[in-house]
Amino acid sequence: MSPFFRLLKMAIVHDLAECIVGDITPHCGVSKEEKLSREKDAMKQLCELISEESSAEIMSLWKEYVDQQTPEAVICKDFDKYVVLLP
């Protein structure tokens, strides 16, 4: 998969957990560890609803985003922060 296509998929996947846990911001008073735990549980719940192959890809993309160890993950997070500045 091309890096660009991977980035697009990651941009879609990275916020899926919010449909269950809501948008947890730093102002919510939830620790980073607790936020990650809630989001991981939510992702597992969502992935139980789809095929094993799709689930594996989605979890891989989500984990890549969370770990922030690839250029695509870093760019995706930067875009996510930037989009709140748009009118």
At 25-74, the pLDDT tens digits run 889 999 999 999 999 999 999 999 999 999 999 999 999 999 999 999 99
What was the pLDDT predicted at 26?
Answer: 87
Residues in the chain: 87
CATH code of the domain in which 22 resides: 1.10.3210.10
What was the pLDDT predicted at 66?
Answer: 97
Per-residue pLDDT band for 1 (boundaries 50, 70, 90) equals confident
What was the pLDDT predicted at 70?
Answer: 96
What was the pLDDT predicted at 35?
Answer: 95
Give me 62's structure tokens.
């989500």
Domain count, the chain: 1
Domain that holds residue 53: 3-83
Report d(CA 70, CA 59) in Å as an integer.
15
Name 46's Cβ contacts closer than 8 Å, sequence gap at least 6. Answer: 16, 17, 19, 20, 58
Q: Give, to the nearest 10 degrees, the angle between helix 71-83 and helix 52-67.
A: 80
